[in-house]
Amino acid sequence: MHNLLNPDSRLMNFITKIADTVFLNILWFLFSIPVFTAGAATIALFDMTLRMVNDEEGALFSSYIKSFRSNFRLATRTWLILLAAGIIFAFDGYVLYHMYTAGAFWTIVTAVYLVGLAAYAIVLMYVFPLMAVFDNTPLAMIRNAFMIGMRFLFCTALQAGVYFLMLLTAVRFFTPILMFGEGLCALVCSYLMNQIMKQLRDKAQSEEP
């Protein structure tokens, strides 16, 4: 028991990281309020949680601000593309819902819509962590996020489960968990993606001239 309560123990280290996600969640929320800055805010969040997984986070506030500033241009361009796509998906979903029929045409169109929505969700789960680690064009980031999400489907499914569980818990059981919200989800998903990111870093380094 004494070893478990030791400040340097793995358990206490993990509990400290969870507590830090509250502060990161507040930063993420505040920096996302203008909406168009949500991309940079999310990249900075994942930049911090990926560092936390490897005990490299440093000072949370200053590191978050630095990451937010350095990624702002790329993040904003990518986020605006994704935001536009999200608005289109939301509109299409609204139309399909109100045009429900039992016909084959509606069923086929809805199936195509759901496949596209799943692809969009995969991109959202991977594009921000990727931008926190690598530099590329917005379209290349979006394409790579989808390809990596499809390649590591088990990890993708686990991440989807994390977000679904957080939403279900907040809506049905314990709303105050939202004070952790995206910060906690980002930390858990960073643990899930850590080995993938290391593989991608090693591959990128091996391909450098």
Structural domain boundaries, residue 44: 10-207
Please tell me the predicted confidence (pLDDT) of residue 124: 95
Residue 35 counted as domain residue: yes
| Model pLDDT, residue 1 | 47
Count of domains for the chain = 1
5 found inside a domain: no
Question: Is 42 inside a domain boundary?
Answer: yes
Does residue 4 lie within any of the structural domains?
no
The predicted pLDDT at position 205 comes to 78
Does residue 163 lie within any of the structural domains? yes
In a domain, 63, yes or no: yes
Is the residue at 43 inside a domain? yes
Mean pLDDT by 10 residues, the chain (209 residues): 55 79 91 91 94 84 93 93 95 88 83 95 95 91 95 95 90 76 90 92 75
In SS3 terms, the chain reads as CCCCCCCCCHHHHHHHHHHHHHHHHHHHHHHHCCCCCHHHHHHHHHHHHHHHHCCCCCCHHHHHHHHHHHCHHHHHHHHHHHHHHHHHHHHHHHHHHHCCCCCHHHHHHHHHHHHHHHHHHHHHHHHHHHHHHCCCCHHHHHHHHHHHHHHCHHHHHHHHHHHHHHHHHHHHHCHHHHHCHHHHHHHHHHHHHHHHHHHHHHHHHHHCC
152 within some domain: yes
Which pTM does this prediction carry? 0.87
